[in-house]
Structure 1
Amino acid sequence: MLDRALELVIPSGSTRDMNDSDLDGLMKTYSIVEIAKDDFLAQKISFQEYIDLLETAQVNIDGYLETVEGNLEEMRLT
């Protein structure tokens, strides 16, 4: 999982300035979010458990849900 995550991270000004500890934290957060998403889509965890895991990874839930809602509206799925 970490190898896959490393392939997907695009360096930017904010990541170039991070030290190893910061990058390790970023990758752990990414890993939590990806595993939670996969488990939710596979119906291994509930929506509430998914949201709880995102909160654990310090994801802005309100912003995330607004983005999801916007994407669903754009795809005309709401």
Structure 2
Amino acid sequence: MPKTTAPAGPATLAPFAVDRKEAARLICVSVRMLQELTHPNGPIRSKRVGAKHVYPIAELQRFLDVSTETAGE
């Protein structure tokens, strides 16, 4: 009879959004540069959750995709 194995632990979901420090780390810029890219009508959009700004992972990916397309032109 074939053996079935259960997952090692609970599945972990990737985050949908990250804070400023983590967002800056993910796109390899300083927190200050991230703030400049975000404020007020910069190319990166953040969301506000309570008093905290968060950066959707999809938005950071979009920014990187657009940035690399325009850099190659």
TM over 0.5: no
The alignment's TM-score, normalised by the length of structure 1, stands at: 0.28
Higher helix share: 1
Higher strand share: 2
The alignment's TM-score, normalised by the length of structure 2, stands at: 0.29
